Protein backbone atom coordinates (compact mmCIF):
# COMPACT_ATOMS: atom_id res chain seq x y z
CA UNK A 1 0.00 0.00 0.00
CA UNK A 2 1.41 3.39 -1.00
CA UNK A 3 1.27 6.62 0.96
CA UNK A 4 -1.43 7.91 -1.37
CA UNK A 5 -3.75 5.01 -0.63
CA UNK A 6 -3.11 5.56 3.05
CA UNK A 7 -3.68 9.30 2.70
CA UNK A 8 -7.04 8.81 1.08
CA UNK A 9 -8.05 6.19 3.64
CA UNK A 10 -9.16 3.78 0.98
CA UNK A 11 -8.44 0.40 -0.52
CA UNK A 12 -7.18 0.43 -4.10
CA UNK A 13 -10.07 0.48 -6.57
CA UNK A 14 -10.22 -2.18 -9.29
CA UNK A 15 -8.47 0.25 -11.64
CA UNK A 16 -5.76 0.91 -9.06
CA UNK A 17 -4.81 3.83 -6.87
CA UNK A 18 -5.56 7.40 -7.95
CA UNK A 19 -3.00 9.39 -9.89
CA UNK A 20 -2.14 12.77 -8.43
CA UNK A 21 -1.79 15.01 -11.44
CA UNK A 22 -0.26 18.50 -11.41
CA UNK A 23 -1.39 20.55 -14.40
CA UNK A 24 -1.80 24.08 -15.68
CA UNK A 25 -0.52 26.41 -18.37
CA UNK A 26 3.21 26.52 -19.12
CA UNK A 27 5.05 28.69 -16.58
CA UNK A 28 2.17 28.60 -14.11
CA UNK A 29 4.06 27.04 -11.18
CA UNK A 30 3.62 23.36 -11.93
CA UNK A 31 7.25 22.50 -11.18
CA UNK A 32 7.04 24.21 -7.80
CA UNK A 33 3.88 22.26 -7.04
CA UNK A 34 5.53 18.98 -8.01
CA UNK A 35 8.32 19.76 -5.57
CA UNK A 36 5.78 20.51 -2.84
CA UNK A 37 3.88 17.26 -3.36
CA UNK A 38 7.10 15.28 -3.43
CA UNK A 39 8.20 16.94 -0.19
CA UNK A 40 4.84 16.03 1.30
CA UNK A 41 5.64 12.37 0.82
CA UNK A 42 4.19 11.23 -2.52
CA UNK A 43 6.56 9.69 -5.06
CA UNK A 44 7.14 11.53 -8.33
CA UNK A 45 6.94 9.92 -11.76
CA UNK A 46 9.65 11.67 -13.80
CA UNK A 47 12.51 10.64 -16.06
CA UNK A 48 15.04 13.46 -15.63
CA UNK A 49 15.37 14.01 -19.38
CA UNK A 50 14.73 17.74 -19.03
CA UNK A 51 17.37 19.03 -16.66
CA UNK A 52 17.38 22.19 -14.50
CA UNK A 53 18.26 25.46 -16.23
CA UNK A 54 18.09 29.21 -15.66
CA UNK A 55 14.29 29.19 -16.00
CA UNK A 56 13.74 26.27 -13.63
CA UNK A 57 16.89 25.96 -11.49
CA UNK A 58 15.27 23.37 -9.22
CA UNK A 59 14.11 21.11 -12.03
CA UNK A 60 11.10 20.51 -14.24
CA UNK A 61 9.82 17.20 -12.80
CA UNK A 62 8.74 16.02 -16.23
CA UNK A 63 8.03 12.66 -17.83
CA UNK A 64 8.79 13.08 -21.52
CA UNK A 65 6.46 10.45 -22.89
CA UNK A 66 3.30 12.23 -21.74
CA UNK A 67 4.05 15.01 -24.21
CA UNK A 68 2.82 12.58 -26.91
CA UNK A 69 -0.36 11.73 -25.04
CA UNK A 70 -2.56 13.23 -27.75
CA UNK A 71 -1.06 11.06 -30.49
CA UNK A 72 -0.51 7.74 -28.70
CA UNK A 73 -3.09 5.01 -28.79
CA UNK A 74 -1.48 2.89 -26.05
CA UNK A 75 -1.61 4.94 -22.88
CA UNK A 76 -1.40 2.04 -20.49
CA UNK A 77 2.01 3.23 -19.27
CA UNK A 78 0.20 5.91 -17.25
CA UNK A 79 -0.90 3.18 -14.86
CA UNK A 80 2.64 3.35 -13.52
CA UNK A 81 1.69 6.75 -12.07
CA UNK A 82 -1.01 5.26 -9.85
CA UNK A 83 -0.18 6.13 -6.27
CA UNK A 84 2.31 8.76 -7.50
CA UNK A 85 2.30 12.34 -8.77
CA UNK A 86 2.97 13.27 -12.40
CA UNK A 87 2.98 16.56 -14.29
CA UNK A 88 0.94 16.93 -17.47
CA UNK A 89 0.35 20.20 -19.29
CA UNK A 90 -3.28 21.31 -19.26
CA UNK A 91 -3.69 21.08 -23.04
CA UNK A 92 -3.29 17.30 -22.74
CA UNK A 93 -5.84 16.74 -20.00
CA UNK A 94 -8.48 15.95 -22.61
CA UNK A 95 -6.35 12.98 -23.72
CA UNK A 96 -6.14 11.25 -20.34
CA UNK A 97 -7.24 7.60 -20.54
CA UNK A 98 -10.47 6.84 -18.67
CA UNK A 99 -9.14 3.78 -16.84
CA UNK A 100 -7.57 5.77 -13.99
CA UNK A 101 -8.84 7.93 -11.16
CA UNK A 102 -7.26 11.38 -11.04
CA UNK A 103 -6.71 13.93 -8.29
CA UNK A 104 -5.87 17.01 -10.34
CA UNK A 105 -4.10 20.06 -8.92
CA UNK A 106 -4.65 22.79 -11.51
CA UNK A 107 -2.20 25.68 -11.16
CA UNK A 108 -3.44 29.20 -11.85
CA UNK A 109 -1.22 32.23 -12.37
CA UNK A 110 -1.82 35.78 -13.52
CA UNK A 111 -1.76 35.60 -17.32
CA UNK A 112 0.47 38.63 -17.69
CA UNK A 113 3.03 36.84 -15.54
CA UNK A 114 2.62 33.63 -17.52
CA UNK A 115 3.21 35.43 -20.82
CA UNK A 116 6.19 37.39 -19.46
CA UNK A 117 7.75 34.19 -18.14
CA UNK A 118 7.19 32.38 -21.43
CA UNK A 119 8.71 35.26 -23.40
CA UNK A 120 11.76 35.33 -21.16
CA UNK A 121 12.23 31.57 -21.56
CA UNK A 122 12.13 31.93 -25.34
CA UNK A 123 14.72 34.69 -25.10
CA UNK A 124 16.99 32.45 -23.03
CA UNK A 125 16.70 29.83 -25.78
CA UNK A 126 17.37 32.37 -28.54
CA UNK A 127 13.94 31.63 -29.99
CA UNK A 128 11.69 34.23 -31.59
CA UNK A 129 8.15 34.72 -30.30
CA UNK A 130 5.82 35.69 -33.14
CA UNK A 131 2.57 35.32 -31.19
CA UNK A 132 0.43 38.23 -30.06
CA UNK A 133 0.14 38.48 -26.27
CA UNK A 134 -3.46 39.67 -26.39
CA UNK A 135 -4.48 36.78 -28.62
CA UNK A 136 -2.62 34.33 -26.40
CA UNK A 137 -4.29 35.74 -23.29
CA UNK A 138 -7.71 35.26 -24.83
CA UNK A 139 -6.85 31.74 -25.95
CA UNK A 140 -5.64 30.88 -22.46
CA UNK A 141 -8.82 32.21 -20.86
CA UNK A 142 -10.93 30.07 -23.20
CA UNK A 143 -8.76 27.05 -22.49
CA UNK A 144 -9.10 27.43 -18.71
CA UNK A 145 -12.87 27.65 -19.10
CA UNK A 146 -12.88 24.45 -21.16
CA UNK A 147 -10.82 22.64 -18.52
CA UNK A 148 -13.33 23.64 -15.85
CA UNK A 149 -16.22 22.32 -17.93
CA UNK A 150 -14.35 19.10 -18.67
CA UNK A 151 -13.53 18.64 -15.00
CA UNK A 152 -17.21 18.77 -14.06
CA UNK A 153 -18.07 16.14 -16.67
CA UNK A 154 -15.34 13.59 -15.94
CA UNK A 155 -16.53 11.24 -13.22
CA UNK A 156 -13.02 9.95 -12.55
CA UNK A 157 -11.61 13.43 -11.91
CA UNK A 158 -11.40 15.38 -8.67
CA UNK A 159 -9.94 18.82 -9.29
CA UNK A 160 -8.69 21.69 -7.17
CA UNK A 161 -7.37 25.04 -8.41
CA UNK A 162 -4.32 26.54 -6.70
CA UNK A 163 -3.04 30.08 -7.22
CA UNK A 164 0.70 30.32 -7.79
CA UNK A 165 1.13 33.76 -6.25
CA UNK A 166 -0.92 32.83 -3.18
CA UNK A 167 1.23 29.75 -2.68
CA UNK A 168 4.45 31.74 -2.79
CA UNK A 169 3.10 34.34 -0.36
CA UNK A 170 1.48 31.85 2.02
CA UNK A 171 2.77 28.32 1.38
CA UNK A 172 1.40 27.06 4.69
CA UNK A 173 -2.17 27.80 3.60
CA UNK A 174 -1.68 26.00 0.29
CA UNK A 175 -0.01 23.05 2.01
CA UNK A 176 -2.99 22.71 4.35
CA UNK A 177 -5.45 22.91 1.45
CA UNK A 178 -3.58 20.27 -0.53
CA UNK A 179 -3.25 18.03 2.50
CA UNK A 180 -7.01 18.13 2.99
CA UNK A 181 -7.58 17.44 -0.71
CA UNK A 182 -5.28 14.41 -0.61
CA UNK A 183 -6.41 12.86 2.64
CA UNK A 184 -4.72 14.66 5.52
CA UNK A 185 -1.41 12.88 6.08
CA UNK A 186 1.07 14.85 4.00
CA UNK A 187 4.07 16.48 5.66
CA UNK A 188 2.96 20.11 5.53
CA UNK A 189 6.14 21.45 7.12
CA UNK A 190 8.26 19.90 4.38
CA UNK A 191 5.87 21.18 1.73
CA UNK A 192 6.23 24.73 3.00
CA UNK A 193 10.03 24.43 3.01
CA UNK A 194 9.96 23.35 -0.64
CA UNK A 195 8.65 26.75 -1.77
CA UNK A 196 11.40 29.20 -2.75
CA UNK A 197 10.01 32.74 -2.94
CA UNK A 198 13.20 33.89 -4.68
CA UNK A 199 12.04 32.01 -7.76
CA UNK A 200 8.90 34.14 -8.04
CA UNK A 201 10.21 36.19 -10.93
CA UNK A 202 8.22 38.04 -13.58
CA UNK A 203 5.87 39.38 -10.94
CA UNK A 204 3.05 41.51 -12.27
CA UNK A 205 3.85 44.40 -9.95
CA UNK A 206 7.32 44.55 -11.51
CA UNK A 207 6.33 44.10 -15.14
CA UNK A 208 6.54 47.13 -17.38
Structural domains of the chain in order of their starting residue, each with its CATH number: 3-192 (3.40.50.300)
Contact 24, 108 (CB under 8 A): yes
pLDDT at 33: 97
Nearest alpha carbon to residue 25 among 181, 147, 127, 132: 147
How confident is the model at residue 109, as a pLDDT? 95
The model's pLDDT over 53-92, given as tens digits with 9 standing for 90+, comes to: 888 888 899 999 999 999 999 999 999 999 999 999 999 9
Neighbours of 68 (CB within 10 A): 11
Alpha-carbon distance values, 36 to 24, 44, 60, 105, 140 (Å): 15, 11, 13, 12, 25
Closest CA to 31 of 79, 83, 111, 88: 88
pLDDT digits (tens, 9 = 90+) for 101-155: 999 999 999 999 999 888 888 788 777 666 788 999 999 999 999 999 999 999 9
168: which residues sit within 8 A by CB, 6+ positions away?
A: 32, 195, 197, 200
- Amino acid 118: pLDDT: 86
Average pLDDT value for the chain: 90
Amino acid sequence: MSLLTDLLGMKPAPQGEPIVLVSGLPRSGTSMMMKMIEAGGIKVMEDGVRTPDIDNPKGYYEYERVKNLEKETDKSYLREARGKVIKIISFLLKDLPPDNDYRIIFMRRDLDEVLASQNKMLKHRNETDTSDDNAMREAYLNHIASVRIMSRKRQNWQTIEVRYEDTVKNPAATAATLNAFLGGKLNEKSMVAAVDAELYRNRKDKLK
